[in-house]
Amino acid sequence: MNGSGRLSPQEIADILRERIRSGELKAGDRLPTQAELAEEFGVERGTVRQALRALQEDGLLSNVSKGSPPRIAEPAPAREEPQPTMVGLAPRLTEAFAPPRVRIDAVCLTAESLMLALSEPVRHIHEGRIRPESVDVRVMLPSRDIDLAFPVPVQEGDGTDNPVHDRWLAMRNAQARVLQHNLQALRATHGIDVHVTFRALPFTPPVKLYLLNGEEALMGYYMLTRREEEWESRTLEMYDALGSHSLLFSFLKRSGRRDQAFVEESQKWFDALWETITTDLTLS
């Protein structure tokens, strides 16, 4: 209790949380009225209102209105285990293409995972299973002019020849062009208003980030590995990140206050960076 001997809003909220956790209050149950709670805890109604507001922000109450006591909310969907990018991204993109207006934002090292995963919602559009009115895709990829943190050769050359960088650049450009073509083709085939824009990052992103309609954020950490790759009749030894193997962590706004904050802050960060970077990516 606080110094006055009365329960604080936080203490009342904690008591009600414990009743929900223990099953004393179940999903769908109505809470007592504010007057009844105020009488039970020996506090003013204003204190009860603050406690209920804290429970509402935690996603524990539903049907919050002035006309009737709120109900206990259904439990938030359990967070799924993180999945490899090539497993988790395509089904989430397909769900994101269901609304009339689709907005996909991405920051990544190359467009490979996004290009491949987008083939799933594009196929659903061609099959007539979904039909968005507009699709707006914004992608930030590293500029060709920066010294990448990865991929890099195991042994540095003389400075005039960097086939590891050349290989990455060729992949970046080819994948981005395919992604752009496949989406823009929907304008001609289905009359969908499609916009695909690329901008050049002045740094190597340490993570990949996908933002789906401002409702879900998918984040994966790039894990570096030493490997060899055949490229133009040469064997390249490099430190590289296999982005398709990165585990994607999902954050859904509807899953609670913490997830909501992560999605909203990620979207603000992306929008601010997008406005700061004015250089469009050159796919050549």
227 DSSP β-pair partners: 238
pLDDT of the residue at 270: 98
Domain residue spans of the chain: 9-72, 83-280
229 DSSP β-pair partners: 236
The Cα–Cα gap between 12 and 41 comes to 8
Mean pLDDT of the chain, nearest integer = 90
Q: How far is CA 94 from CA 116, 120, 198, 236, in A?
A: 12, 6, 21, 36
The yes-or-no verdict on residue 55 having pLDDT over 90 is: no
Backbone φ, ψ for residue 39 (5° rounding): -70, -40
Q: Write down how long the chain is.
A: 284
Taking a C-beta distance cutoff of 8 angstroms, is the pair 142, 109 a contact?
yes
Mean pLDDT of 13-22: 88
The yes-or-no verdict on residue 261 having pLDDT over 60 is: yes
Helix, strand or coil, per DSSP, at residue 233 = coil
Provide the pLDDT confidence category of residue 5 given band limits of 50, 70 and 90.
Answer: low
Q: How far is CA 64 from CA 6, 30, 196, in A?
A: 25, 10, 40
For the stretch 159-183, pLDDT in tens is 678 999 999 999 999 999 999 999 9
CATH number of 9-72: 1.10.10.10
Amino acid identity for residue 79 in this structure: R
pLDDT of the residue at 74: 77
Amino acid identity for residue 126 in this structure: H
For the stretch 81-138, pLDDT in tens is 788 888 899 999 999 999 999 999 999 999 999 999 999 999 999 999 999 999 999 9
Taking a C-beta distance cutoff of 8 angstroms, is the pair 201, 274 a contact?
no
Regarding pTM above 0.95, the answer is: no
Taking a C-beta distance cutoff of 8 angstroms, is the pair 60, 24 a contact?
no
